[in-house]
Amino acid sequence: MPDHSPSDRLLQLLQTRFGYSEFRPRQAAVCQAVADGRDALVVMPTGAGKSLCYQIPGLARGGTTLVISPLVALIEDQVNRLLSRGVKAGRIHSGRGREESRETFRSYLRGELEFLFIAPERLAVPGFAEMLKQHPPSLIAVDEAHCISHWGHDFRPDYRLVGERLEGLKNTPIVALTATATPLVQKDICVQLKLRDPSLFIHGFRRENLAIQVVDALPSERADRISAVLADPERRPAIVYAPTRKKSEELARELRGLKAAAYHAGMTSADREDVSVAFLNGTSDVIVATVAFGMGIDKANVRTVVHAALPGSLESYYQEIGRGGRDGLPSQAILFHCYSDRKTHEFFLDRDHPDTAVLAKVRAAVPPTGSVLADELRGSVRGVDAEDFEKALEKLWMHGGVKIEHGEAVSLGIEGWKKPYEEQRKHRLAQLDSMQAFTESGGCRMTTLIRHFGDTEDGTRACGICDRCAPVANVRVLDELERGIVAQTLASLSGRDGQAVGRLFDEATSFDSRVTRSGFERILSALARARMIEVLQSEFEKDGKVISYRRIALLAAGKRAKAEDVAAIEIDGDSMAGARAAKVKKKLGTTRRAGDGRAPVVADPERASELPKLFEDLRAWRLAEAKKKGVPAFRVLTDRVLYAICEERPTTEDALRMVPGMGPKLVQAYGEAILGRVNGA
């Protein structure tokens, strides 16, 4: 057999063991560095061929490659693929029986395996790491390496200790691989795994065939809109990501005319397997899943990836949309969101990251010397429920505040646990802020993602196919109501720049109770894209907790904006004014729906001629009032409210309060004047 140089050897392995004629872009450079014994960090998107970046070098180096992976499904998929190619691979994880695992490890010690896959928890088993040293692996691959960093979007405590538990294998090169790691996470991975002068391969994040669209829609609208999108057979197969287990089941039922099935971690493994297999073989063409679905699932022809709510981070979002269009054909990623989605994430953040004071209370109950069993500790901590106690203890352990030995013996750890814990919580909020900012950004969606991950090799040219580069038909100019909100917003910022979004919402929309927070957020996004305002992230501390919030800064274009500039602003979605006008038109001249607590009102044809006179009288009063206050007329009352007053003819303040759009503050301010005109008509 002729003597091959290493690069020839790598190509030969690619062709003979895996059946590929050539490497994908950048794969060869990664494989060469790892085969040469260099530590390496590989950050490449889903579907870019990361697995070969440890499999080819592992075979080239001979011996056994140890692969550490966080998910059983991912391990099973990789092992089955290798076995199907004649590669000798085994695995040890919680899903395998004890005797199966023992026999696999004996095969490893005999040198019979080319690859051994383990879950990170296996390294914590007493004596396991020591036994690895009896037959040291030739290469260690840490897959889904973002899980090792507490800055990562899917941090796993057992992963954090991988570097420490591999101390006995210092001479073995390590390659860390992930599809989603920001520059901060990349640095932390290298530190935690103690990589020695690692080669860094951070590239390939551009997806030429993936068109990203972001849609502002209320939760109640999304099932119908997703059904409409996926009704086109060309948009299927599809993955729909739902925010919770309950929502995945509801949405699977609500998708009309589609063979859809729910998938989440609360299902039995058998049920999950059935759903997964049905989707992979085409029996089901839509899977509605939580984030439990995806890792290790390789279905090349997914045409659409839908997010039914705002994801928690750009890292998880990018990883999930990467499951679309792996065959290279045109695919779409559609993200539905609205302001209220953020509240769901904040709820989970508070649940998973208790207040620092709770952690301090739990730690204070740990004896200064010796240890205490976790159950005994829980019984001694008053005023903290069981769920908060467990979360607090977990976070204390993760950040060194306590030590836990033998699974339950708790003893004191380091004093400096507070700062890293609070930094992690702050980072989680920053990830949510970045995700929300992505929905509001005015530039190319793909370019925004590429920059987020620090891909310095990409020229960050516009993709040409996202909703920013190629706007969809639902983009329109502002309607009359929205122009009024914009005018009030800009005026309010001129008087007091840098206001918090919540305060600005109250100020800019107090004249009209019909304007929802979600609608206002959509208007702010339009203003940001027009470069009239800038959305800034700020924070303050309250009761020991750091509260993140957004505030709005007025830019030069916003300061000099004229009516024609505002009229030219484009916004996504249906017209608020048009939708409301239709509702008002339906309300006038029809019976009010039953059960609203008021007597039915039917428009009287004989009084139709009276409506214009009273309406114009109210409009004249409104205009005079607006001039006195120096605000636009709609800032006092809108036409819709005036029409409702004309229709219902309230004669008392109690009756006036029942008019849609008339709240207590408006009745207090304008009730006497309005009732005087109604009673005099």
Q: Which stretches within 282-414 are classed as H helix? A: 314-321, 339-352, 356-364, 374-380, 386-398
Residue 119 in domain: yes
Final residue in a domain of this structure, among 579, 614, 630: 579
Angle at 145 between CA 142 and CA 146, to 5 degrees: 175
In a domain, 500, yes or no: yes
Q: What is the mean pLDDT of residues 601-605?
A: 34
Q: Residue 126: which region, alpha, beta or left (left: phi > 0; alpha: psi -120 to 50)? A: beta
The token pair at 681 is 């008509």
For residue 438, tell me if it sits in a domain: no
Last residue of a domain, one of 551, 579, 607: 579
Please tell me whether residues 145 and 227 are part of one structural domain.
no
Q: Are residues 171 and 99 in the same domain?
A: yes
> Among 174, 202, 230, where does a domain finish?
202
Please count the structural domains in the chain: 5
Q: Name the band, by pLDDT with cuts 50, 70 and 90, for residue 631.
A: low
pLDDT in tens, 468-516: 887 765 667 888 888 888 888 898 898 889 888 888 888 777 666 667 7
Looking at the structure, do residues 520 and 564 belong to the same domain, yes or no? Answer: yes
Domain that holds residue 399: 353-423
> Same structural domain for residues 196 and 166?
yes
Q: What is the mean pLDDT of residues 565-587?
A: 58
**Percent of the chain scored above 70 by pLDDT?**
86
- For the chain, give the mean pLDDT: 83
- The predicted structure's pLDDT at residue 573: 66
CB–CB of 137/116 below 8 Å? yes
Side-chain half-sphere exposure of 224, counting CA atoms within 13 A? 5
Whether the CB-CB separation of 108 and 64 falls below 8 Å is answered with yes
13 and 151 fall within a common domain: yes
Query: Tokens 């109210």 label which residue?
Result: 618
For 521-539, the pLDDT digits (tens) are 888 888 887 889 888 877 7
What is the mean predicted confidence (pLDDT) over 412-436? 89
Chain-centre distance for alpha carbon 122: 30
Q: Are 121 and 72 in contact (CB under 8 A)?
A: no
Looking at the fold, whether 280 and 397 belong to one and the same domain comes out as no
Q: Is residue 675 part of a domain?
A: yes
Residue 509 lies in a domain: yes
Same domain, 35 and 178: yes
Task: Give per-residue pLDDT as tens, 345-372.
Answer: 888 888 888 889 999 999 999 999 999 9
* Domain contains 469: no
**532, 557 contact by CB (below 8 A):** yes
Are 234 and 303 spatial neighbours (Cβ–Cβ below 8 Å)?
yes
Indicate whether 27 and 157 sit together in one domain: yes
**Residue 305 and residue 217 share a domain:** yes
Looking at the structure, tell me whether residues 300 and 231 fall in a common domain: yes
Residues 332, 357: one domain? Answer: no
**Is residue 387 domain-shared with residue 317, that is, in the same domain?**
no
Tens digit of pLDDT for each residue in 156-182? 766 777 888 888 888 899 999 998 888
Alpha helices for 441-479 (secondary structure H): 445-452
Q: Domain holding 676: CATH number?
A: 1.10.150.80
Report how far residue 634's alpha carbon sits from residue 659's, in angstroms, rounded to the nearest whole number: 17
What is the number of other CB atoms lying within 10 angstroms of the CB of residue 600?
Answer: 10
Say how many C-beta atoms besides its own lie within 10 A of residue 84's C-beta.
Answer: 8
Complete DSSP assignment for 494-517: HHSTTEEHHHHHHHHHTT-TT--H
Note whether residue 613 is domain-resident: yes
What SS3 state is found at 185? helix
The token duo for 576 is 């608020």
Residue 635 reports pLDDT greater than 70? no
- Asked whether residue 129 is assigned to any structural domain, the reply reads yes
CATH number at residue 390: 1.10.10
Mean pLDDT over residues 207-227, rounded? 90
